[in-house]
Amino acid sequence: MKKQRSFRAKALRSILLHSFAIFKDCEFTSNCWQNLGIGNFSSEFFSLDIHSRLEENCKLDKRTGYLQIPWSTLFAFGVWILWQHRNRVIFKNFTPNQNIYKEIVQKAAKFAYCAQNMAASKLQVEKYLQWERPHRGWFKLKY
């Protein structure tokens, strides 16, 4: 049992350390974040610890130059898409896509557009109900 916990702890630590590369240690991802405009929002982006970086950027409500997408949305899609891209490069030998930031913007914009339209539309249906007398020879049962 102890060995299993130790293995899980090591695996989790390894995953966290690799995920940290999505923010800081990798030139590829650093360039991607720069292309997304991180410099406009946080001068400390690359110096904060991973927890602070995630928390700060997921709560940041400023709009980006990219179609006025909220930075928190663009950031969340950036983390997810960079993680997926990193795994494809490492495990499936894909070539790194230098324009991955365009995919991030595209997917974040689509989400923001759909979410905005969903919030703007009212999902209410009005139905007027009234009791109607049954046809002659029929009875209505109350249940």
Number of C-alpha atoms within 13 angstroms, CB side, residue 28? 14
Paired tokens of 86: 């990193």
pLDDT at 2 over 50: no
Paired tokens of 124: 């209410």
pTM to 2 decimal places: 0.66
Nearest CA to 34 out of 16, 46, 25 is that of 46
What is the per-residue pLDDT across 90-128, written as a single tens digit (0 to 9) for each? 889 899 999 999 999 999 999 988 877 665 566 677 777
Per the DSSP assignment, residues forming a β-bridge with 137 are: none
Asked if 46 and 69 touch (Cβ cutoff 8 Å), the reply is no
Model pLDDT, residue 1? 44
Longest dimension (CA), the chain: 82
Per the DSSP assignment, residues forming a β-bridge with 63 are: 70
State how far the Cα of 111 lies from the Cα of 109, in Å rounded to an integer.
5
